[in-house]
Structure 1
Amino acid sequence: METVELEAQVLANRLGVAFSLVFQNRPIECMITITALEAYFWREPRPGDERILKTFRDGYGRIRAIAERKLLAHPVARLELTPADFSRP
């Protein structure tokens, strides 16, 4: 899978970070919730946008791997990653 060269962005409603991947030659809109970032990538309460994006970039390898696995299992046009996607049974 390739990454579309679009910069990740904190959503206006501050509920997540939007990013894109290319899957089967088409771009897929992806979003990881702030709740997932807080639970699995940092513990800082109410971070600013810069800190959220730094955390996203620092955890991008794991975020991308989870997104790719989820897309392989269930191809969709829009993908949302939540804390449940990062929990291990």
Structure 2
Amino acid sequence: MDTTIVSDATVAPGGSAVLFELAARGRVVQCSIGRDALEQYFWLPKGASEVRLLKAFGDGQKRIMAIAERKALRFAVDAIELKANDFER
């Protein structure tokens, strides 16, 4: 798979998610992953700071990108919102 992050990840207003863009198959997709998913699957402590939120994202970036890319390719949409249930096995 030939996917890259287009820009640095940022924290959404209010700290409810991490926002990022990925490029897959020649198009840019706006993505987000909710705080709840990071808490449940990427060891983010509840009530963690924005710095810790971005660290949890960075630590799980490969897995997060893989799920985001699969959804981008499957649904051909311009925006993807990753939630905890996207990471269930």
Shift of 1:72: 1.7
Q: Per-residue CA shift, 1:31-51, capped at 9, x if unaligned? A: 000010001001512000110
Could you tell me the TM-score, scaled by structure 2's length?
0.91
Aligned length: 88
Shift >3 Å, 4+ stretches: none
1:55-66 to structure 2, matched below 5 A, reads 55-66=56-67
User: Share of identical aligned residues, percent?
Assistant: 41
- Is this contact kept in 2: 1:4–1:20, CA < 8 A? yes
Q: CA RMSD in A?
A: 1.2
Could you tell me the TM-score, scaled by structure 1's length?
0.91
Instruction: Point out where structure 2 has 5 or more consecutive residues left out of the alignment.
Output: none
**Are residues 28 and 16 of structure 1, via their aligned partners in 2, closer, same or farther at CA, if it must alter by over 3 Å?**
same
Instruction: Point out where structure 1 has 5 or more consecutive residues left out of the alignment.
Output: none
Tell me the distance in 1 between the aligned counterparts of 2:39 and 2:7: 23
